[in-house]
Every structure is written in structure tokens, then in C-alpha cells.
């Protein structure tokens, strides 16, 4: 680097003033104060964790306090086992789960699934369930929600599943 290049660089550097030094020093002092406050906060947290550790150690040293006795089990087994559960199909889409213990029977619940079932040609007055499929106007429709409406009438409860095709040629001249 030549002397002229160095001189150009030095001229481009702003002169260091007392004001610039004072601003830099103030920033460093402020940063120092923030760091000291953070160190004090961490020291307090460490002291609190020491107290907490002492309390946990005291509790761990104590003998456990037994709770009240639970219900007596049968044959050494508590609660209901798989052999106590029953499952019965209610209809084409539903089944019920029951718990049986001796002469006591408890209905746990019924599960219903939207299984796809073809119901034939759509029939007026019949209620269709989600999962039902019907034929109407040459197309097949899938039921989205329980309804008795006709498919294809703009109802959101029916979705077109298979669209009717065009009629074929009469077969003459083949």
C-alpha cells in the first residue's frame, strides 16, 4: 500500500472526539450494569433452588404415608379384565360394549361407523344414513348426512359417486 493510499484512508476516518469516547464509555457502563443485574438475578435463583433442593431432600427422607385401601379384587386381580367385556353388533353399522361381572351388566357404550352400504334405488320417504349409497336417475349417490331428500336436487347431503353414462348405439350395422 502506498503512502498516498494510507493518507486517503486516514483522512476518511472521523476524528475521535471526547464526545465519541464519552458515548462509547456510557454504553459500556450501561452494559456492565445490565450484566451485574443479570448475575444478581442468577445468584438469587441459585439460592432459591438450593432451598428447594433441601425441601425435596427432607420429603424424600420421610416414610411414605399410605392412602386408604382400594376395593377388594377377585382372585387377586383388581378391576375389570378382558374376560369381563362383551361386544355385540347392534345393527349394520353399530356395536355395543358391555362389562359383565356376575349378575351385574354395565353398558359401556355404543360405537357407530359410516360404513358404505348400497341401499338400491332411492325410495321416497326412506331416511338414509351417512355411508349409504343409492342409485337415482342412472347415477350412484353417496349420503353424507342423515336425510330423506332426493339425490341431485342441490342438496349438500348427497355426493355424486358415479355419473350416468351416455346411451350406447343401437347396434345396427355392427
The pLDDT value recorded for residue 43 is: 83
Buried-state track 74-85, b at ≥16 Cβ within 10 A, e below 16: eeeeeeeeeeee
Backbone angles phi, psi at 149, to 5 degrees: -80, 160
Query: What residues have CB less than 8 Å from 162, skipping those under 6 apart?
Result: 139, 140
Note down pLDDT in tens along the chain; length 174 residues: 788 877 777 676 766 677 777 877 888 888 898 989 888 888 888 888 888 888 888 888 888 888 888 776 555 555 667 788 889 999 999 999 998 887 888 888 999 887 899 999 999 999 999 999 999 999 999 999 999 999 988 888 999 999 998 887 776 665
Rg of the chain's alpha carbons, rounded to an integer?
A: 41
Q: Terminus-to-terminus CA distance in the chain, angstroms? A: 97
Domain 117-162 is classified in which CATH homologous superfamily?
Answer: Carbohydrate-binding module superfamily 5/12 (2.10.10.20)
Q: Helix or strand or coil: residue 83?
A: helix
Q: What angle do CA 61, 63, 65 make, to 5 degrees?
A: 135
Q: What is the DSSP string of 49-70?
A: HHHHHHHHHHHHHSPPPP----
Amino acid at each position: 500500500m502506498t503512502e498516498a493510499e494510507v493518507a486517503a484512508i486516514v483522512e476518511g476516518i472521523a476524528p475521535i472526539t471526547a464526545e465519541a469516547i464519552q458515548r462509547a464509555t456510557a454504553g459500556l457502563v450501561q452494559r456492565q450494569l445490565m450484566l451485574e443485574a443479570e448475575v444478581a438475578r442468577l445468584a438469587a435463583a441459585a439460592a432459591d433452588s438450593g432451598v428447594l433442593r433441601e425441601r425435596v431432600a427432607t420429603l424424600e427422607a420421610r416414610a411414605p404415608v399410605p392412602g386408604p385401601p382400594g376395593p377388594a379384587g377377585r382372585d387377586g386381580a383388581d378391576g375389570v379384565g378382558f374376560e369381563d367385556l362383551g361386544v355385540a353388533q347392534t345393527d349394520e353399522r353399530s356395536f355395543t360394549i358391555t362389562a359383565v361381572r356376575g349378575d351385574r351388566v354395565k353398558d359401556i357404550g355404543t360405537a357407530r361407523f359410516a360404513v358404505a352400504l348400497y341401499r338400491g334405488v332411492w325410495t321416497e320417504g326412506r331416511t338414509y344414513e351417512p355411508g349409504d349409497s343409492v342409485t337415482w336417475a342412472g347415477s350412484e349417490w353417496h349420503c353424507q348426512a342423515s336425510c330423506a331428500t332426493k339425490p341431485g336436487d342441490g342438496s349438500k347431503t348427497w355426493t355424486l359417486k358415479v355419473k350416468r353414462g351416455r346411451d350406447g348405439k343401437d347396434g345396427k350395422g355392427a
